Amino acid sequence: MAYYRRVGDVPAKRHTRHRTPTGDLYREELMGEEGFSSDSSLLYHTGVPSAIVDATPWDLPDQCTRENRPLLPRHLQLHRLTAPDWAAVDAVTGRRLVLGNADVRISYVAAGAASPLYRNAVGDECVYVESGTATVETVFGALPAAAGDYVLLPRGTTHRWVPTGPEPVRLYAVEAASHLAPPRRYLSRFGQLLEQAPYCERDLHGPDAPLLTEGTEVEVLVKHRGSRGITGTRYVHPTHPFDVVGWDGCLYPYTFNVADFEPITGRVHQPPPVHQVFAGEGVVICNFVPRKVDYHPLSVPVPYYHSNVDSDEVMFYCGGDYEARKGSGIGQGSVSLHPGGHSHGPQPGAVERSIGAEFFDELAVMVDTARPLELGEGGLAAEDPGYAWTWSGRGPT
Ligand SMILES: [Fe+2]
């Protein structure tokens, strides 16, 4: 994201001597993407960011997936994944894999405990907060997170999730194997968000102050690429990684609240790309927010049946009342998977009911993938097996 930010104590000129009040040198670290050829930031540490005193394997939660065969639309009720002891579950090690492919993995967790320090070295994370509150402490500073926030964590950002409320913080974690950013068409050729984009820089919130944390023998869990898929390592650092006195640049974590997305509406049905928020390689993220609906005198406000032949479509229903899915059992916390190769659209009666509607009070986050999605153990555990037959009203006997 090419949007310059400067926080804390940085020297007037990059790559020059920057000293502590007692005369020691701060350690400058460049964190950058695409081999020094894309966005980066410079961070100034009191300690040595490379220093480790131990490294052991970290076994991730179950990352196995099962193909979607027979090819079916699926309904997954993610609230069923809430553990009875959610207060002891953390937002990193407690994630349950719902869906995944080589480009993206979607997990869900309802957490009440502070997570270990963690960084994802596979790709960027976009974590949507369904409900609850948390502070996301990062090496760049802290980010408050609440319902409706997308928390964007660039690949390699050391951070931890600290729930802050009496209820669980419910997180829908989209982990890409690439970088996630505003779609190219929203940006000027120099990277500013354009007038026709549904959000702008004022809607993006980065850290405001360094987070100086004392500590010794500090564990950090690292999710990274392995020869047989995604794996993990546990490091121990001699001092706390949150030792940055200042940083500047265009690469840092930030939040964006879905309520700040200004929907683009029309006289007739607008296609899903107008609802796009972020893009990665082989994955796009869109959101359907409360909005005035199609106002042509003969309009049909719910979508037409559609066969998205090049993608799988995942909807996470996270607020309001989703008009086109009424009568299917879908509710708050549900996910629908509509795979490429199967046409989908409104449930029976939804088209007729929508005629004359002026406003839809619905909130959903959509992930579209270029490669087919497989079901993770969390997805399989949360499945409502009747969904595929709701359009016809009967299934196999
Ligand atoms: Fe769709």
What would the pLDDT profile of 90-140 be if each residue is shown by its tens digit? 999 999 999 999 999 999 999 999 999 999 999 999 999 999 999 999 999
The β-bridge partners of 374 are: 100
Q: How far is the CA of 336 from the centre of ligand 1 (A)?
A: 9
pLDDT in tens, 317-355: 999 887 777 778 899 999 999 999 999 999 889 999 999
Ligand 1 centroid from CA 341, angstroms:
12
* Rounded distance from Cα 133 to ligand 1 centre (Å): 30
Tell me, in angstroms, the distance from the centre of ligand 1 to residue 324's CA: 10
Distance CA 200, CA 197 (A): 7
Q: Which residues pair with 161 in a beta bridge?
A: 136
What is the whole-number distance in angstroms between the Cα of residue 108 and the centre of ligand 1?
A: 21
- Ligand 1: distance of its center to the CA of 366 in Å? 9
At 334, give phi and psi (nearest 5°).
-80, 155
Q: For residues 30 and 66, what is the distance between their CA atoms, to the nearest angstrom?
A: 39
311 Cα–ligand 1 center, Å: 10
Distance 271 CA to ligand 1 centre (A): 10
Distance from Cα 150 to the centre of ligand 1, integer Å: 21
How much is the mean pLDDT over the chain? 96
* CA–centroid distance, residue 75 to ligand 1 (Å): 13
Q: How far apart are CA 374 and CA 386, in angstroms?
A: 19
Separation between Cα atoms, residue 284 and residue 187, nearest integer Å:
16
CA atoms of 264 and 276, how far apart (whole Å): 10
What is the pairing mode between strands 216-226 and 117-120?
A: parallel
CA of 344 to the centre of ligand 1 (A): 6
Interval 246-258 mean pLDDT:
98
- Percent of the chain at pLDDT > 90 equals 92
The pTM score is 0.97
**Dist. CA 383 → ligand 1 center (Å):** 19
Measure 338 CA to ligand 1 centroid, in angstroms: 7
Angstrom CA distances, 162 to 117, 151, 394, stand at 10, 13, 46
Residue 306 CA to ligand 1 center (angstroms) comes to 6
Q: What are phi and psi of 289, to 5 degrees?
A: -110, 165
Quick check: 211 pLDDT over 70?
yes
Looking up tokens 């850290």 gives 207
